[in-house]
Amino acid sequence: MTMYAKPIPKINEDSRPFWGGCKVHELRFQKCNQCGHVRWPPAIICPECHGKDTVWITAAGHGRVYTYVVYHIAYHPGFKGELPYVVAVVELHEGPRIFTNIIGCSTEEVYCDMAVEVVWDDVTTELTLPKFRPVK
Ligand SMILES: [Zn+2]
């Protein structure tokens, strides 16, 4: 594995298909075959109807900034070189809300409800992170 100075996600059996999708630049989520709810984080049952019949779908990668914060202090040494940076919750068109970073613009340009699209950060040979940039 390539050296990477920041914390990395803990991948488990539930989330492995999501991270495997990221590796091939696909944003994958579980969709309930009983009620149609698209969920995040992955789980063995649907939080809406408790159904267990699930399929993995690939999201288009478009959404809006639901909320965000600008970090001016590095709480982990790996982030010192990136200050200031944006941590956001992006609501995808398919429904799930995921934590991510907004990149490709200044921190002052980010606002709630801003249209964004996924971009892929291949941080190691093993791990790719989904990040988002403004839709121009
Ligand atoms: Zn359901």
User: Can you give 62-84 as a three-state secondary structure string?
Assistant: EEEEEEEEEECCCCCHHHHHHCC
Mean pLDDT, range 55-69, rounded to an integer: 98
Cα 107 to chain centroid, rounded:
18
Residue 2 has pLDDT above 90, yes or no: no
Report the C-alpha gap between 110 and 2 in whole angstroms: 31
pLDDT band at residue 136 under the 50/70/90 scheme: confident
Over residues 81-106, the pLDDT tens digits come to: 999 999 999 999 999 999 999 999 99
**Å from CA of 51 to ligand 1 middle:** 5
**Å from CA of 52 to ligand 1 middle:** 8
**Å from CA of 96 to ligand 1 middle:** 14
116 within 8 A of 63, measured Cβ to Cβ: yes
**Å from CA of 17 to ligand 1 middle:** 19
- pTM reported for the whole predicted model: 0.93
**Å from CA of 53 to ligand 1 middle:** 8
Residue 36: predicted pLDDT: 98
What is the DSSP code (8-state) at residue 21? H
Residue 41: predicted pLDDT: 94
**Å from CA of 37 to ligand 1 middle:** 5
**Å from CA of 127 to ligand 1 middle:** 30
Over residues 67-80, the pLDDT tens digits come to: 999 999 999 999 99
**Å from CA of 129 to ligand 1 middle:** 27
Over residues 11-41, the pLDDT tens digits come to: 999 999 999 999 999 999 999 999 999 999 9
With CA atoms as reference, report the closest residue to 47 among 58, 39, 55. 39
Residue 44 has pLDDT above 60, yes or no: yes
